[in-house]
């Protein structure tokens, strides 16, 4: 399958994310970070965006979640555009940024409470979601401790929990498991799969091939700002006739360093 082929010309009714020919070049850069990038994520999918460092994963996610616009191309989230329905889209969207998005000197509970209020939660509902978030991140014991005192694993877990506060229909995660131990990663993986089973569509970026293979129902391989290949892990391997995903990845993206 070539990118952009499925669902064309009109995105199907089950397309949660539909991006067409996105181009984005940063002002102080000499080559585009996204170069004719197209992507479709369907309802209930666990989609993995796999790519080497500097491939354009964060840029793609930022544009797909409306943080900034692309230079050209179009985006629909559940059929809505950011121009007309920014607020509605943001309501159903949960974003877990690559850099930890937590206040260091606030406690776990205070962080959850603040971001929860900004999601429009209050009262009993807010208290419930905070409790769920703490349990989800396995931080109930540490609810009253400042984030600054947390390990990377704890921070990552809380970072994720905050993204889930509004019970999003579309959860977008940018490398949520960077720099954490096997235990935390295992926990996060299990929880994400559980959330996905409950119906949340997930868009997940990573540069770990095993991670993508383990979690995702469909994978897109991004390099140089372009989606090179997409499909289920097994389909990708069958098509290419390559034995494992890592080799396919290196075959598609080349062996030289990407961020030099």
Partner 1 sequence: MLKIFAATAKELLLLRRDRTGLLVLFLMPAILVVLITLVQENVMELTGQKKTQVLFLDLDQGDLGRSLQKQLSTTTLDLVLWDEKQKDIADIQAAVTGGGYQVGVVIPKGASARFTEETARLFQQGTGSGKPREMAATTVQLFVDPGIMAGLRSGVIAQLEMALTTIALEAKLAQLGGVLAQTMARAGMEPEQSPLAGDKLPALFRQPLLDLQEHQGDSGAIGASQYKPVQQNVPAWALFGMFFTAIPIAGSILQERNSGIWIRLTALPVSPLVLFTGKALAYMGVCLCQFLLIALIGAFLFPFLGLPAFTVSMHPTAILLTVVLSSLAACGYGIFLGLTCNSYEQASTLGSTTVVAAAALGGVMVPVYAMPQVMQQLSIISPLNWGLTAFQDLLLRGYSLSAILDDLGRLLLFFAVTVFVSWKLAGIRK
Ligand X SMILES: Nc1ncnc2c1ncn2[C@@H]1O[C@H](COP(=O)(O)OP(=O)(O)OP(=O)(O)O)[C@@H](O)[C@H]1O
Shortest gap between Cβ of 174 and ligand X (angstroms)?
A: 7
CB 60 within 8 A of CB 22: yes
Comparison of 57 and 129: residue with beta carbon closer to ligand X? 57
Q: Is 131 in the site for partner 1 (CB under 8 A)?
A: no
Tell me the three state secondary structure of residue 226. strand
Binding partner 1 (rule: CB under 8 A), the pick from 18, 38, 62, 230 is: 62
| CA dihedral (190, 164, 153, 203) positive or negative | positive
The separation between the first and the last C-alpha atoms of the chain, rounded to the nearest angstrom, is 30
The CA distance from 212 to 215, in Å, is 5
Closest CA to 156 of 98, 72, 198: 98
Contact residue for ligand X among 16, 20, 37, 57 (CB under 6 A): 57
CA–CA dist 235, 228 (Å, integer): 14
Alpha-carbon torsion angle 74, 80, 81, 87, nearest 10: -150
Binding partner at 114 among Mg ion, ligand X, partner 1, none, C-beta below 5 to 8 Å by kind: partner 1
Q: Segment contacting ligand X (CB under 6 A): 28-36, 39-47, 85-93, 235-243?
A: 28-36
Residue 120 interacting partner from Mg ion, ligand X, partner 1, none (CB closer than 5 to 8 Å by kind): partner 1
Task: Provide CB contacts within 8 A for 84, sequence distance 6+.
Answer: none
Size of the site for ligand X (CB under 6 A): 14
Encoded one letter per residue, x for contact with partner 1 by CB under 8 A and - for no contact, window 64-93 reads: -xxxx------------------x--xx-x
Which of 29, 124 has the CB closer to ligand X? 29
Q: Does 166 bind Mg ion (CB under 5 A)?
A: no
Q: Interface with partner 1 by CB under 8 A: which residues?
A: 62, 65-68, 87, 90-91, 93, 95, 97-103, 105-106, 110, 114-115, 117-120, 122, 146, 159, 162-163
């Amino acid at each position: 399958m070539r990118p952009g082929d499925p669902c064309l010309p009109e995105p199907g009714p089950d397309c949660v994310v539909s991006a067409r020919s996105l181009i984005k070049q940063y002002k102080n850069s000499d080559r585009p970070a996204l170069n004719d990038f197209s992507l479709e994520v369907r309802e209930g999918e666990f989609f993995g965006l796999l790519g080497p460092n500097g491939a354009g994963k964060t840029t793609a996610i930022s544009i797909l979640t409306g943080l900034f616009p692309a230079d050209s191309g179009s985006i629909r989230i559940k059929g809505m555009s950011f121009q007309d329905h920014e607020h509605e889209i943001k309501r159903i969207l949960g974003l877990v940024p690559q850099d930890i998005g937590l206040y260091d000197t606030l406690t776990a509970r205070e962080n959850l409470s603040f971001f929860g209020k900004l999601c429009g939660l209050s009262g009993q509902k807010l208290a419930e979601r905070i409790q769920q978030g703490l349990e989800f991140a396995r931080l109930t014991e540490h609810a009253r401790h400042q984030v600054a005192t947390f390990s990377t694993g704890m921070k990552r877990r809380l970072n994720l929990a905050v993204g889930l506060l509004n019970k999003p229909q579309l959860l977008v995660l940018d490398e949520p498991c960077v720099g954490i131990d096997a235990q935390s990663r295992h926990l996060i993986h299990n929880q994400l799969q559980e959330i996905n089973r409950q119906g949340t569509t997930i868009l997940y970026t990573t540069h770990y091939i095993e991670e993508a293979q383990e979690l995702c129902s469909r994978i897109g391989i991004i390099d140089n700002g372009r989606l090179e290949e997409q499909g289920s892990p097994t389909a990708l391997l069958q098509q290419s006739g390559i034995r494992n995903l890592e080799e396919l990845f290196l075959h598609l993206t080349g062996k030289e360093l990407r961020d030099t």
